[in-house]
Amino acid sequence: MMSIKNCVLCTMLFLGVCIASCDIKQQKTISEEIVSAKAAEPKRADTAFNSVKGQVKEFTIDPKKKNNLLSKKGIKIAIPENAFVTSNGKTPEGPVSVTVSEYHNPADILASGINMQYNTAEGPIQMESAGMFNMQASCEGKPLQIAQNKKIDIEVPSTNKDIDFNLYYFDTLTNTWTETQKILPVKEKQQEQTIVTSLKKENEADPQMTIEWAASKPVQRRINGKVISLVKPDCMYDNTFFTIPLMTDQYPELALYKEAVWTGYLTQDKMKVAAAFEVDQLISAKIVERETPLNKYLVSMEFKNIKITAYMKIASLPEQCETNEELYTAYLNERPVDEARIEKIENKRKVQKKTDEIYRTFSITRMGLWNCDRLYVLTKKALVHARFRNASTNEFYTPQTTYLIDKNINSVWVYNTTIVLNPDSDNVILFVTDKGKICYTRLNKLSETRDEKEMALTIDVNEMPDKPNNTEDLYLLIRKKM
C-alpha cells in the first residue's frame, strides 16, 4: 500500500506536470497567433510584380504612451498605451516598430500577390476591396501581438461610399479570409478643426535662406550662417492644432517646411493651450527654448487676461506630410530637394482634395492583414481562351499566370488558363514573360464586337520598356490603358 507521503509526492508531481503542460500550451497558442499575423504576401515566380515597391510606412513609438499614426495613404491608427505584448505576454520595454503596408487600388493588390478570393460552400468568390492594410509590430526584431484587453482603432479612407462592405481578416495558417464584422460603419470626412490666431508673423526666416552642411553632427545644418538641429514635423491627424505666429529668427528650422502647424507635445499641453484659446485672445507668443534634438519647444503665450507656457511640437497636416517628409529627408541626407517629387506630391494632393472621401471605422485585436471588402460576382460572363502575341515582334507567349483588372472593380482576378471577364467592362490584362518582362493589353467592351459567351482570341500585347518603380507608377499605367 502506498504511504501518505508517497501519495502527496505523486499528487504534487502530477499537478506540476499539468501546470507545465498548460504553460506550454498557452505559450504555443500565443506563438501561433504571432505566426498567423505575419504578412500575407506570398513569394511567387513572377517577381517582376512582387518586386514593385508598395505603399509601406514604418513608425517607431513608445509603447507605454498613446500613439496616433497616419499611414502613407491616410489610414488613421489610434494605439492605446501598453497595447502590445511579447510572445510570453509581457509588455515590451524598449521602443516598438510598427509597419503598415496598405493596398488601395488594383496596382497595390497586384504587386502584393494577396489572394482576393473568399471560400464558400459553393466555391471561391472574388472580393472587391474598399481598403486593405497589413500591420505588424516588433521590439528588438521580435514580433509582438495586441494585448488581450486592448484594441486598436482604425479609420480607412475610401472613395467608395457604398455601405455594404464587411471586415475580413486573412488567416495565414489556412491561407483563407475570415469575415469578422458585417456592414462597417461609414464616417464622413469632416473639415479639420483649426484654432487660428490673427497675428502676423514677425522676423520670419527668409524663404530663400542659404543652407550649408555642418560637419559637426548628423542632424545639424548651417542655415543663414547659424548651426541648427533639424526637426522632423510630426505627421498628425488629431483635429486640434494651432497656427501660432512665432518669431523664427532664432529657430530658422521652423521655416523649412510647408504649412507647418503646432500641437501639444503631450496631451496635457494641448488641452491647456486649447482651453486658453477658447476663453481668451492671444496677444503674443515666443519660443523660450528648444530641447534638442527633440521636436519639443517651450512656448510662452500671452493672452489678454492670462499667460501660459506649454511644450509644443511642430506638425504637418495629413495633406502636407509627404511634402515635409521629402524636405526633411533632403536636408538630413545632404542632397538637393527633389523638386519633381514635390511637384508630383502637390499635384496628387490637389486631385485628392477634389475627391469626396469617407472613412470606414472599426477596431482590431490582432496584428496582420485586414480588408474592408464585399463579395463580387460578375453580372455578365465571357470565357476567353487567349493566345498572346507581341505586337512588335509577333512572338507568342504562354504565360503561366494571367492577371485581369476590371475598371469598375477594385480587385485583381488571377487565371492560369481560361480568362473569365465581363464583356461589357473595360479590362486590362497583364502577365510576366519567362524573361521577366511585364506585358499588358486591354479588352475594352468586348461585347461591342463579339457576342459569344465563349471564344478563342489572339490578343496583341505590349511589353513595358521598364519595370515600374512603385505601385503608384504601375497604377497610372493601368489607368491609361483602360
Confidence of residue 294 (pLDDT cuts 50, 70, 90): confident
Average pLDDT estimate for 157-171: 92
In a domain, 35, yes or no: no
Confidence of residue 22 (pLDDT cuts 50, 70, 90): very low
In a domain, 41, yes or no: no
Whether 157 and 258 map to the same domain: the answer is: no
Residue 114 has pLDDT above 90, yes or no: yes
Q: The domain that contains 113 carries what CATH number?
A: 2.60.220
Whether 78 and 143 map to the same domain: the answer is: yes
In the prediction, which pLDDT does 259 show?
76
Whether 172 and 63 map to the same domain: the answer is: yes
In the prediction, which pLDDT does 405 show?
96
Grid cell digits, residue 275? 482651453
In a domain, 70, yes or no: yes
pLDDT digits (tens, 9 = 90+) for 82-112: 999 999 999 999 999 999 999 999 999 999 9
Q: What are phi and psi of 48, to 5 degrees?
A: -60, -35
Whether 133 and 276 map to the same domain: the answer is: no
Split into its structural domains, the chain has a count of: 4
Pick the more confident residue, 30 or 453.
453
In the prediction, which pLDDT does 13 show?
41
Whether 266 and 154 map to the same domain: the answer is: no
Residue 16 has pLDDT above 50, yes or no: no
Q: How many helices (H) and strands (E) does the chain have?
A: 7, 33
Grid cell digits, residue 273? 493651450
Mean pLDDT over the full length of the chain: 80
- Domain boundaries, position 234: 194-354
Pick the more confident residue, 321 or 226.
321
Residue 28 has pLDDT above 70, yes or no: no
Integer Cα distance of 203 and 246 in angstroms: 9
Of 324, 242, 298, residue with least CA distance to 275: 242
Residue 333 has pLDDT above 60, yes or no: yes
Integer Cα distance of 364 and 366 in angstroms: 6
Residues 6+ apart with CB under 8 A from 276: 282, 301, 303, 306, 308
Whether 59 and 2 map to the same domain: the answer is: no
Grid cell digits, residue 463? 511589353
Q: The domain that contains 464 carries what CATH number?
A: 2.60.40
**Which residue shows C-alpha cell 545632404?**
334
Most confident of the following: 37-51, 180-194, 458-472: 458-472
- Of 373, 402, 433, the residue that ends a domain is 373
Q: Is 380 exposed, middle or buried (0-12, 13-18, 19+ CB in 10 A)?
A: exposed
Query: Considering the chain, what percentage of its residues have pLDDT values greater than 90?
Result: 44
In the prediction, which pLDDT does 402 show?
95
Whether 174 and 211 map to the same domain: the answer is: no
Whether 119 and 199 map to the same domain: the answer is: no
Average pLDDT estimate for 413-428: 94
Whether 333 and 395 map to the same domain: the answer is: no
Whether 86 and 180 map to the same domain: the answer is: yes
In a domain, 456, yes or no: yes
Statement: the pTM of the whole predicted model exceeds 0.75: no
In a domain, 39, yes or no: no
- Which segment of 68-77, 196-205, 350-359 scores lowest on mean pLDDT? 196-205
In the prediction, which pLDDT does 278 show?
79
In a domain, 34, yes or no: no
Whether 210 and 341 map to the same domain: the answer is: yes
Residue 354 has pLDDT above 70, yes or no: no
Confidence of residue 33 (pLDDT cuts 50, 70, 90): very low
In a domain, 40, yes or no: no
Average pLDDT estimate for 71-90: 93
In a domain, 92, yes or no: yes
Residue 457 has pLDDT above 70, yes or no: yes
Grid cell digits, residue 83? 497595447
Whether 164 and 222 map to the same domain: the answer is: no
Can you state the angle between helices 321-332 and 339-354, rounded to 10 degrees? 170
